[in-house]
Structures are given as structure tokens and as C-alpha cells.
Amino acid sequence: MNLQNVEQARFNMIEQQIRPWDVSDTAVLALLSTVKREDFVPLAQKALAFTDMAIPLPGGQAMLPPRVQARLVQDAAIQATDKVLEIGTGSGFMAALMSRQAQRVIALEINPEIADMARANLQRAGIHNAEVRLADAAKGTPADAPFDVIVLGGSVAEVPQSLLNLLKVGGRLVGIVGSEPIMHAQVITRTSDTNFTSVDKWDDNAPRLVNFPQPSPFKF
């Protein structure tokens, strides 16, 4: 693809996939024009950078489709003073988008090969306020808690309380929750030390985050 074709493909992605999916936040749309998605896609998949599909990553992981990433970032409603935790950073593209809005992004990735790729991608993009850590987010809590925003880069059957406890009061978690065939994007807000409110926003499926609890297949 020459430069002109790349910019046309980016424009088409925004106008034909992302805007029609209720992404209307001008700040988010501007980020999608400037943060180069193609630089976060594995070399073998470069031609698929702007397509409406999940892009395979090592270890059976995937980079979510552009419209899903855009919608998650829009729903996170990140402010310039926010400290953001991303779980399952994949290639680093969502961390790159969020780093332009937030004060700081801490991205946890369980797969060493993917973590290295995300780190290299962010460095190449000149992003210095997003840090990729090799960690199993299902098992431990980052020392930097509490967070203003937590974004899940994959789906969970249900959001564990241990994650919600990492939110500041007034903070929110955004992620895709449930089981196939239909999962829901949820925004869960911590309204007090003990209370949380949850809003279902839209339906879509996403690959599972590794090691988070699965629902029991047995129904009594």
C-alpha cells in the first residue's frame, strides 16, 4: 500500500466501520486518524490493518476489530488526569489511543512475546506514558492501584470483585462480559467504597482474557 492508499483505507475504516457503530466522540475519531493502527499490526497481517475483523496475535490471542477498540475507548471517557489500567494489551494499539487522553497507562500482558511486541510498537510510536508489564492480571494486583479507569482488552465471563476493588470511587471499568453467543460491553462505575453500578452498552463477542474464571457449565 502506498501512503495515499493507506490514508484512504484509514478514512474508510473510520467512516464505514467506526462512525456507524455509534462512535461520535470527536476526540476519539481524531485519535483514530493520527495513531497509526497499521504500525501495531504484526507484519504478516499488515494488509488487514483496517479491516473489520480481529487480527491474530501469537499464543491464540487477537487484536480486536477497530470499531470495538474505538467503542471501548469512547465508553472509557478518559480524562487528562486519569491513571488507566489495561488488561490484555495485545499489540498495544488501545494503550496508544488511551495514552493520548490519559495521564498514564499501565498495560498488563500475560504473553511474553506479545508484551515485547506491544512495548516495541509503543516505543516506535513515540509514546512514553504507557508502560507494558508482563503480568497475570487474574492473579495479582498492580502496586499502582487505585485506578480511574480499567479497560479489558478481551472478554470475561464475569468481572471479578478483585478487579473492581482496584477502582477509585468515581472510577469505571469497561469491558466485554458474558458468554457466547451474546456478550455485552459493560461500564461498571464505583459509586462508593462498597457500591457499584453497571450499564450494558452494546453487544459483541471478544476472545477470552487468559486465566479469568469461567462459569460452571453445570446448571442445577
Residue 139: per-residue pLDDT: 87
pLDDT tens, residue by residue, 32-81: 999 999 999 999 999 999 999 999 999 888 999 999 999 999 999 999 99
Residue 220: per-residue pLDDT: 46
Q: Are 15 and 27 in contact (CB under 8 A)?
A: no
Taking only the tens of pLDDT, the chain with its 220 residues reads 678 899 999 999 999 999 999 999 999 999 999 999 999 999 999 999 999 999 999 988 899 999 999 999 999 999 999 999 999 999 999 999 999 999 999 999 999 999 999 999 999 999 999 999 999 998 877 789 999 999 999 999 999 999 999 999 999 999 999 998 889 999 999 999 999 999 999 999 999 998 988 876 555 4
Residue 1: per-residue pLDDT: 64
* Domains defined for the chain, CATH in brackets: 3-203 (3.40.50.150)
Alpha-carbon torsion angle 136, 145, 191, 210, nearest 10? -10
Cell 468515581 sits at which residue? 170
Say what the pTM is. Answer: 0.94
Beta-carbon contacts of residue 122 (< 8 Å; ≥ 6 apart): 92, 95, 96, 99, 130, 132
Which of 175, 27, 187, 15 shows the shortest CA–CA distance to 100?
27
Q: Are 174 and 76 in contact (CB under 8 A)?
A: yes
Strand pairing category for 196-203 and 55-56? unpaired
